[in-house]
Amino acid sequence: MAENIQVKPTANTTNRLKRTRTNGFKAFYFKREREILGGGAIFLFFVVWEILGASGIFNPMFISSPSRVWAAGVAYVESGLIWNDLRISGIEFFSGYLLALIVGVPIGLLMGWYWRVRAILDPFVSFFYSTPRIAFLPVLIIWLGIGMGSKIAIIFMMSVIPFVVNTMTGVRTIDQNLVKVARAFNASDLQIFRTIILPGAIPSIISGLRLGIGLGLIGIVVGEMYAANAGIGYRLMEAGTMFRTDLLFVCVLIIAGIGIAASELLVRVERIFDKWRPDRS
């Protein structure tokens, strides 16, 4: 009996293996088509860029080339400047972003739940929502100087608005029938908040957090470009004024990498909630 049971799956597996082996490449390609197409496009882009940089059609001082960017990147790492720049920009970004989180989400929850709070704060939120908040940079520098303070403040201002708005929308779009059920079970406001409002608003809060990353990165780059003495944005500006397009692209790539990594992290967090969402997975 036991042998019988063992034999069956083995036969099955060899069959399947055979099928994969006969058209191994095709199977591999179709399984990873997305990655192969995307990766291939990037590779092609770099090849064309390198050829154009070496061909003499364009001045390499303007367009640089992958090999030059690579060399500049290695030099940047070896000089040790990169670590200080990353540290400064990192501290600025996380302080500003965290502060925005601590302030923005509770305000959003209150605005979503209590219409009076919403009525009071709405003019301010609307104002900051529709203004390019980066315009406040000069005044922040007047108040806080060119050090980290003004950068933290601009990152805070950039990312706090999507936190507030998304959290508020999340709370407001919660199915009121759920609240009615909780009330019928005599739930306290705190219980309603803990069991319905917070879990119900979380998907919307997370998409706010993702928006905040992009906006926070704009804040940090523009802030450091405008007035600073260290940081990735500062290095970017410096490279630009010295016509160092290679170093400039290195900085752009670092910022892009951080942005992609941070959003990817939040996508992972978001997936935790996927199993109960009908529209995903």
Partner 1 sequence: MAQNSLASAVTTERRLDAAKNKLIANRVQIEYFVKRTGEYHLAVEDITLTIAENEFVCIVGPSGCGKSTFLSAVAGLLKHSGGNLSLDGKPITGPCKDLSVVFQSAALLPWRTIIRNVTYGIELWGVPKKEALERAKKMISLVGLSGYEQRYPHELSGGMQQRVNLARALVADPQLLLLDEPFAALDAQTREMMQHELLRIWQENKKTALFITHQINEAIYLADRVVVLSKGPGRIKEIIPIDFPRPRDETIKRDPKFLEYEDRIWALIKEESNE
Tell the smallest beta-carbon distance from residue 198 to partner 1 (Å). Answer: 10
241 lies in the binding site for partner 1 (CB under 8 A):
no
187 lies in the binding site for partner 1 (CB under 8 A):
yes
118 within 8 A of 112, measured Cβ to Cβ? yes
CA dist 53 and 245 (Å) reads: 12
Residue in the block written with tokens 């005599």? 186
CA distances (Å), origin 30, targets 44, 71, 140: 20, 36, 53
186 lies in the binding site for partner 1 (CB under 8 A):
yes
143-147: long-range contacts, CB 8 A cutoff, minimum separation 24: 146/227, 146/228, 146/229
3-state helix, strand, coil in the chain (%, to 5): 85, 0, 15
The letter for the amino acid at 254 is I
196 lies in the binding site for partner 1 (CB under 8 A):
yes
User: Quick one: 192 or 232, whose CB is closer to partner 1?
Assistant: 192
**Stretch of 9-17, 136-144, 150-158, 273-281 contacting partner 1, by CB under 8 A:** 273-281
Tell the smallest beta-carbon distance from residue 197 to partner 1 (Å). Answer: 11
Residue window 122-161: x/- pattern of binding to partner 1, with contact defined by CB under 8 A: ----------------------------------------
178 lies in the binding site for partner 1 (CB under 8 A):
yes
Tell the smallest beta-carbon distance from residue 182 to partner 1 (Å). Answer: 7
173 lies in the binding site for partner 1 (CB under 8 A):
no
Give the count of beta carbons closer than 10 Å to the beta carbon of residue 131: 12
Tell me which residues touch partner 1 (CB under 8 A). 175, 177-178, 180-187, 191, 195-196, 199-200, 273, 275-278
